[in-house]
Amino acid sequence: MKISCIFADVLYSFYVKNRKTEWDIAYKNLTNLEFLESFFEEHEKDLINGYYKGRVQDVTEAISLTRKMAHNFFHKVIKYCKQGDNLDTLFKNLNRYESALAMLTLSKIQNVENKCDWLRIYGIRVDNGIYTVTGGTIKLTLEMKDRPHTKNELKKLGDYKDCLNDSCIFDKTDLYNFVENI
Amino acid sequence: MEKKLNYTIVNSSNKWKKQVLDYEENKNWRILSEKISIAILRYLRYEKKNKAWLADKLGKSPQYISRLTSGKENLSLKSIALLQDALEEEIISIKNIDFSRKHQGSSFYILIENHCIKDISIENNNFIQLNNVMTPYPYKQEKYDYRNVIDDIEYTELIESSNEYY
- For residue A14, the model assigns a pLDDT of 87
- For residue B41, the model assigns a pLDDT of 96
CB contact under 8 A, A4 and B8: yes
Q: Which residues of B116-137 are buried (b: 16+ CB within 10 A; e: fewer)?
A: bbbbbeeeeeeebbbeeeeeeb
The residues in A 30-59 lying below 8 A from B, measured between CB atoms, are 31-34, 37, 41, 59
Using CB atoms, which residue from A3, A32, A71 is nearest to B8?
A: A3
Q: Look at B42 and B13; give whichever has higher pLDDT.
A: B42
Dist. CA A153–CA A158, nearest whole Å: 9
- For residue B120, the model assigns a pLDDT of 44
Is the per-residue pLDDT at B62 higher than 60? yes
Distances (CA, A) of B14 to A87, A124, B34, B156: 19, 21, 23, 62
- For residue A84, the model assigns a pLDDT of 86
The residues in A 110-169 lying below 8 A from B, measured between CB atoms, are 159, 162-164, 166-167, 169
The widest CA-to-CA distance across chain A, in whole angstroms, is 53
CA distance B107 to chain A (A): 29
Mean pLDDT of A112-124: 88
Out of A19-33, A168-182, B145-159, least confident range: B145-159
- For residue A82, the model assigns a pLDDT of 87
Most B CBs within 10 Å: which of A11, A71, A174, as the mutation test of the B interface?
A71
Is the per-residue pLDDT at A104 higher than 50? yes
Is the per-residue pLDDT at A72 higher than 60? yes
Cβ atoms of residues A59 and A51 within 8 Å? no
* ipTM metric: 0.88
Using CB atoms, which residue from B17, B21, B38 is nearest to A37?
A: B38
pLDDT tens profile B126-160: 444 343 333 344 444 444 455 555 444 444 444 44
pLDDT tens profile B70-128: 999 999 999 999 999 999 998 888 777 777 766 666 555 544 444 444 444 444 444 44
Is the per-residue pLDDT at B10 higher than 50? no
Out of A77-91, B37-51, B141-155, least confident range: B141-155
Q: Which residues contact A144 (CB under 8 A, 6 or more apart)?
A: A150, A151, A153, A154
Q: What percent of chain A has pLDDT over 90?
A: 44
pLDDT tens profile A132-172: 999 999 999 988 989 999 999 999 999 999 989 888 888 88
Provide the residue count of chain B: 166
